[in-house]
Structure formats: structure tokens, C-alpha cells
């Protein structure tokens, strides 16, 4: 199974928790793990906010070596706009992340309860 981790999942990995343990299990059994460049943006912002730029940069380096980072193409952005209309509670980055997961045929891993349950999503 191929997975796409959103920023929630990556941030959860920074703290010991049952959700972090579940993410580690999923990643260890995955064929490939993806994320989007916008999830990197969110991770860098949040980790810098909570710790420091150097901690954020170190974590991003680790993410880049263990995942395939997807750029956001126009097709993905336009698909995300349709998802935003369908799921108005989702933020823009979340809609783009979901669109990327759908476009690449991967399962999205998140802990964000705003994501819909009718999509290919593993909700932690």
C-alpha cells in the first residue's frame, strides 16, 4: 500500500503517542510514502513555531530522505477547488493534500477529524 502523510501525521510523530505508534506501523509496512510540498510548508511553520528553525530544518531533512515529496501541479490545485466545494470544512492545504492523494492513487494518513470518511483515508 502507498501512503501520503499530511502535516498532522508528521507533527504527531514528534511526540510519543499511540497515534505516532500507529503512523510508524503504517509507514513500516507501506510500499512507498509520499507527502506534498505544502505539507512541508505546514511542518516547517509549526515546528519552527514550537521549537526553532534549526529543529524544523533538521526534521524536514529527515522527511525528505524518507518520503517522496510531490509538487502541486495546476491539475491538483483545480481538483482541490472541487473538493473545497464538496468539503467546506477542509482548509486549502488539506484539500490540495486530498487531491494529491486521489490523483496518485494513494491512501491519505491524517488525524484531522475534518477529513471526510467517504474517501481513501486512514484517520488516526
Give per-residue pLDDT as tens, 66-113. Answer: 999 999 999 999 999 999 999 999 999 999 999 999 999 999 999 999
pLDDT over 70 for what percent of the chain? 100
**118 pLDDT higher than 90:** no
Give percent helix, percent strand, percent coil of the chain, each to the nearest 5.
60, 15, 25
Mean pLDDT of the chain: 97
- Tell me the domain boundaries of the chain: 2-123
CATH among 3.30.1360.200, 3.20.20.370, 3.30.930.10, 3.40.50.1010 for 2-123? 3.40.50.1010
pTM for the model: 0.95
pLDDT score, position 119: 86
Q: What pLDDT sits at residue 121?
A: 97
Amino acid at each position: 500500500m502507498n501512503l501520503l502523510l499530511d502535516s498532522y501525521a508528521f507533527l504527531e510523530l514528534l511526540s510519543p503517542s499511540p497515534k505516532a505508534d500507529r503512523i510508524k506501523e503504517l509507514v513500516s509496512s507501506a510500499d512507498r510514502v509520499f507527502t506534498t510540498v505544502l505539507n512541508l510548508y505546514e511542518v516547517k511553520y509549526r515546528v519552527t513555531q514550537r521549537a526553532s528553525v534549526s529543529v524544523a530544518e533538521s526534521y524536514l531533512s529527515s522527511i525528505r530522505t524518507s518520503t517522496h515529496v510531490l509538487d502541486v501541479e495546476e491539475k491538483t490545485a483545480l481538483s482541490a477547488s472541487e473538493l473545497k466545494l464538496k468539503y467546506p470544512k477542509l482548509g486549502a492545504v488539506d484539500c490540495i493534500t486530498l487531491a494529491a492523494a486521489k490523483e496518485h492513487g494513494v491512501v491519505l494518513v491524517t488525524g484531522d477529524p475534518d477529513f471526510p470518511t467517504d474517501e481513501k483515508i486512514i484517520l488516526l
